[in-house]
């Protein structure tokens, strides 16, 4: 398989490079799948799954939403997880002398 690169135009060389990059990505995906199948087969021979051997818990597809830790006593619809900047209602309550533990759910 000999391609004479010296005879090719710049445009043809760029197109060839793009084709090679796409082919490399496809080859990596294909080899990754083959390796995964081989690993699953080897684990199954011993009666295990890959997740059991790797010690990883199965990943959930949906990220879980963080539960609220604090609630505004004046408006129960306003909550805060305790992460990030304090909402204005928390700041106002603390300025008024309330303790943060009073706002806990």
18-25 average pLDDT score = 97
Is 59 a domain residue?
no
Residues 47 and 75 in one domain: no
The average confidence (pLDDT) of the chain is: 90
CB 10 within 8 A of CB 20: no
Please count the structural domains in the chain. Answer: 2
Is 65 a domain residue?
no
C-alpha distances out from residue 55 to 20, 39, 49, 50, 102, Å: 37, 15, 10, 8, 41
Residues 14 and 48 in one domain: yes
Is 62 a domain residue?
no
pLDDT of the residue at 2: 82
Residues 47 and 15 in one domain: yes
Residues 48 and 77 in one domain: no
Cα Rg of the chain (Å, integer): 29
Domain that residue 13 falls in: 8-54
Please say if the pLDDT value at position 90 is more than 70. yes
């Amino acid at each position: 398989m000999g391609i004479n690169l010296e005879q090719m135009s710049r445009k043809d060389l760029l197109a060839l490079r793009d084709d090679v990059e796409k082919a490399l990505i496809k080859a990596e995906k294909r080899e990754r799948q083959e390796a995964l199948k081989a690993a699953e087969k080897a684990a199954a021979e011993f009666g295990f799954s890959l997740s059991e051997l790797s010690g990883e818990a199965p990943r959930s597809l949906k990220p879980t939403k963080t539960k609220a830790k604090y609630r505004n006593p004046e408006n129960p619809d306003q909550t805060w997880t305790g992460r990030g900047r304090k909402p204005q209602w928390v700041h106002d309550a603390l300025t008024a002398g309330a303790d943060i533990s009073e706002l806990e759910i």
